[in-house]
Amino acid sequence: MRIVLMGPPGAGKGTQATAISQRLSVPHIASGNLLREHRAKGTPLGEEAGASMDKGLLVPDGLVIRMVLDRLNQPDAKDGFLLDGFPRTGEQAEALDKSLGLRGVQMALNIAVGTDELVKRLGGRLTCRTCQTPYHPVTAPPKVARRCDKDGGELYQRDDDKPDAVRQRIEVYNKQTSPLVEYYGRRGTLKEINGEQAIDHVQTAIFAALGVKA
Ligand code: AP5
Ligand code: ZN
């Protein structure tokens, strides 16, 4: 299946993505994770993207579109994918549609969460330096303090999870990305998910929307 996972920063996209991608046997392709990998490796793309990311602003469309479309052309994405954090602007959505042609996006899942809850979640989030899995000391604690359950990687606070950048990211989402909910609504591919419930209940709602059993 070709799926787009949408929702504001902190809605739980990364948290839900592993289970969805395993259940559907499609790769999880997260634009934010790809960009952070570029930064960690010190590539020119990573260097160019860094300043926007730390401020909580969007990376220019041209850079992100090229990076994601290249990734979608890898053989493992031939029969489907779970896109997380892309598209985020009208230009990105149109570039994706153009590249998929008649195949198109089959479902856009929108995880909705109110602003106060987003701020609370992002303020406490810890992320694995190795695989980028998100944790939270209260709602999604790791088994061993500050270590990833999957690979033992160190858990750290992302620079853009500091309060000023969080506020900026939410503002940017409301202005530049939220109109895409309507974009997919018009195409009849949108499914709304209530993201303000426990993590396993959100997963149940997503699987129901996808029409698959856990
Ligand atoms: P990106 O990495 O995509 O960040 P984001 O969209 O802001 O999303 P997050 O990773 O913050 O949140 P999430 O929804 O995955 O939440 P999570 O599951 O971690 O983008 C970062 C930056 O890269 C952007 O600002 C931009 O600069 C750039 N960028 C990326 N893509 C781009 C694009 N397409 N175009 C231009 N620029 C781009 O959950 C959050 C926390 O809550 C965790 O601690 C988790 O444990 C907890 N939690 C999750 N679910 C629940 C629940 N149900 N109840 C309680 N707690 C929960
Ligand atoms: Zn990890």
Query: Going from the N-terminus, what domains does the chain have, and what CATH number goes with each?
Result: 2-113+175-210 (3.40.50.300)
As a whole number of angstroms, the distance between CA 140 and CA 163 comes to 20
- 154 secondary structure, DSSP code: B
Cα dist from 46 to 52, 109, 112, 139, whole Å: 11, 28, 29, 31
CA of 102 to the centre of ligand 1 (A): 29
Q: Identify the residues whose C-beta falls under 6 Å from ligand 1.
A: 7, 9-15, 31-32, 35, 52-53, 56-59, 64, 85-86, 88, 92, 121-122, 125, 134-136, 139-140, 160, 169, 198-199, 202
* Long-range own/partner contacts, residues 174-182 (CB < 8 A, 24 or more apart): 174/8, 176/58, 176/88, 176/89, 177/6, 177/8, 177/88, 177/89, 178/8, 179/90, 180/6, 180/87, 180/88, 180/89, 180/90, 180/93, 180/108, 181/6, 181/108, 181/110
Active-site residues: which are they? 13, 88, 125, 158, 169
**Which pLDDT score, from 0 to 100, does residue 214 have?**
82
The predicted structure's pLDDT at residue 102: 87
Q: Are 67 and 74 in contact (CB under 8 A)?
A: no
Q: Tell me: pLDDT of 62 over 90.
A: yes
Instruction: Kindly report the average pLDDT of the chain as a whole number.
Output: 97
**What confidence tier does 211 reach under pLDDT thresholds 50, 70, 90?**
very high
Closest ligand (CA of 113)? 1
Confidence of residue 155 (pLDDT cuts 50, 70, 90): very high
